[in-house]
């Protein structure tokens, strides 16, 4: 059993070769990233039924709270197995779950993973996803010791690419018709940040704060 110090607290879990994704809570200035709970189903339905929220992700807009409960159960199975999974994004000012962010897949032998996210539409363009993604990038390199973290977005969703850029991810090209989403093949832009990129950025911020 490995101990992890995060946000000033000690979390006991299994890492690297035991159980990789323990998904401990991560706190930022305005957000709390934590494991999803069954009581979050209504919050997820409230934002996830919006067709605009679901437009550029690979799930359909929710039609019932029971669908959200099924999603939460699938995440909880992943938590128990230590598989790639997502945190719920909790807005600290209200205590409600307003989105998710987490890992789509993980290749341990290559030290790489993909991150994906969604957010309630009333919170778009207010820096919340940049805040959440910045925290997950730091966790990915500081705690999970990944070498590469990827993300992708549909070309028709450039706002998501703007978030990735703000967080230090670099564009690596367009993957033509990479995904089939809602009955159509879509082109996506691929972004990534390497451990070396992250460490260089951390050193620059440290130098500016001297």
Quote the pTM value: 0.89
Reference 96, options 164, 167, 48; nearest CA is: 48
Q: Which tens digits make up the pLDDT trace of 119-168?
A: 999 999 999 999 999 999 999 999 999 999 999 999 999 999 999 999 99
- In a domain, residue 105? The reply is yes
Give the Cβ contact number of residue 47 at 10 Å. Answer: 23
Total tally of structural domains belonging to the chain: 1
| 16 occurs within a structural domain | no
Mean pLDDT of the chain: 91
Looking up residue 140, the CATH number of its domain turns out to be: 3.40.630.30
Is 90 within a domain? yes
pLDDT value, residue 204:
81
15 belongs to a structural domain: no
Percentage of residues in the chain having pLDDT higher than 70: 90
pLDDT at 2: 37
Question: Is 94 within a domain?
Answer: yes
Residues 103/89/184/73 CA torsion (nearest 10 deg) = 70
- Give the Cα separation of 97 and 89 in Å (integer): 5
User: What's the average model confidence in pLDDT over 49-62?
Assistant: 95
Give the pLDDT score at 209.
Answer: 65
Q: Which domain holds residue 68?
A: 2-6+26-208
18 in any annotated domain: no
pLDDT digits (tens, 9 = 90+) for 25-36: 999 999 999 999
Question: How crowded is the C-beta side of 140, counted as CA atoms within 13 Å?
Answer: 37
């Amino acid at each position: 059993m490995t101990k992890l110090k995060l946000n000033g607290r000690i979390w006991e879990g299994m890492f690297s070769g035991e159980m990789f994704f323990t998904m401990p809570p991560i706190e930022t200035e305005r957000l709390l990233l934590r494991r999803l709970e069954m009581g979050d189903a209504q919050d997820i339905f409230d934002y996830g039924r919006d067709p605009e929220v679901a437009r550029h992700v690979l799930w359909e807009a929710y039609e019932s709270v029971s669908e959200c409960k099924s999603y939460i159960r699938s995440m909880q199975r992943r938590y128990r197995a230590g598989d790639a999974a997502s945190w719920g994004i909790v807005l600290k000012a209200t205590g409600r779950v307003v989105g998710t962010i987490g890992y789509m897949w993980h290749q341990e032998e290559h030290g790489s993973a993909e991150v994906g996210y969604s957010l309630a539409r009333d919170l778009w363009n207010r820096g919340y996803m940049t805040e959440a993604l910045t925290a997950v990038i730091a966790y990915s390199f500081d705690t999970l010791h990944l070498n590469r973290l990827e993300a992708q977005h549909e070309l028709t969703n450039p706002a998501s690419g703007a978030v990735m850029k703000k967080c230090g991810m670099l564009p690596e090209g367009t993957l033509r018709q990479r995904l089939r989403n809602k009955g159509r093949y879509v082109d996506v832009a691929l972004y990534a940040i390497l451990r070396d990129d992250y460490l260089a950025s951390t050193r620059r911020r440290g130098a500016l704060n001297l």
